């Protein structure tokens, strides 16, 4: 039996597909949306559609951007010969927020996980190796200190070693299993400054 009209049910269903939104929250959000002024709902809907349509990978570092290059890759003031490898765009933002890193990034969009069946070909590793054919001084591996993050770091360092480019790993100021985005800036900076050459 349907408790609500078909359209409300559909809205609740769609909302409950979002991560972290259970049936109850979806219901609450649906009723909130219905009570919102129409133009506000239009703005919400179009900002979602436009973001989805226009956001793509930065041609250089693979982070998400609405232009060909992200602001960091576009900036002439950055050291384009130092590349920090991170798992997600959120990690990129976490380091950007410290305001103390002046190199560029490479976003892998994931980490190698044999258990989940995620191999090197499933993350943006090929793109990283392509970048290394240019003029690069150092690659700083800043993947998470989870099992997957460590596996990925090891894999990348083995891949880069033969090229002669310096490879370093951020220090273990980052707690084991810790997601970079949840760690405070001081810890992030300490991890970066105390990085170890691999």
Residue nearer to Zn ion on the CB measure, 127 or 150: 127
Instruction: Tell me the CA end-to-end span of the chain in Å, nearest whole number.
Output: 62
Asked if residue 108 lies in contact with residue 86, where contact means CB atoms within 8 angstroms, the answer is yes
Q: Which of positions 63-122 make contact with Zn ion (CB under 5 A)?
A: 70, 73
Give the three-class secondary structure for 48. helix
Dihedral sign (CA 93, 73, 134, 118): positive
> Judged by CB, which is closer to Zn ion: 30, or 180?
180
Nearest CB to Zn ion, comparing residues 30 and 104? 104
**Residue with smaller CB distance to Zn ion, 63 or 152:** 63
Minimum distance of Zn ion from residue 73's CB (angstroms) = 3
What contacts 94, CB < 8 A, 6 or more positions away?
Answer: 180, 181, 183, 185, 188
Site string for Zn ion, 149-188 (x = CB under 5 A): ----------------------------------------
With contact defined as beta carbons under 8 Å apart, do 84 and 105 qualify?
yes
Tell me which residues touch Zn ion (CB under 5 A): 58, 60-61, 70, 73
């Amino acid at each position: 039996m349907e408790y609500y009209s078909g359209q409300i049910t559909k809205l609740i269903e769609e909302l409950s597909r979002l991560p972290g939104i259970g049936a109850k929250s979806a219901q609450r959000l649906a009723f909130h949306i219905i009570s919102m002024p129409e133009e506000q709902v239009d703005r919400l809907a179009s900002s979602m559609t436009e973001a989805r349509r226009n956001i793509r990978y930065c041609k250089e570092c693979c982070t998400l951007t609405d232009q060909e290059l992200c602001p960091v890759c576009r900036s002439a003031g950055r050291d384009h010969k130092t590349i920090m490898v991170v798992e997600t765009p959120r990690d990129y933002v976490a380091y950007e927020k410290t305001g103390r890193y002046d190199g560029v990034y490479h976003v892998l969009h994931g980490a190698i996980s044999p258990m989940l069946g995620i191999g090197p070909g499933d993350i943006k590793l090929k793109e990283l190796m392509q970048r290394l054919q240019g003029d690069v001084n150092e690659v700083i591996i800043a993947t998470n200190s989870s099992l997957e993050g460590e596996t990925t770091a090891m894999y990348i360092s083995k891949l880069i070693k033969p090229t002669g480019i310096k490879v370093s790993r951020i220090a273990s100021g980052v707690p084991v299993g810790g997601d970079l985005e949840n760690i405070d800036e001081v810890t992030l900076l300490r991890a970066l400054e105390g990085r170890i050459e691999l």
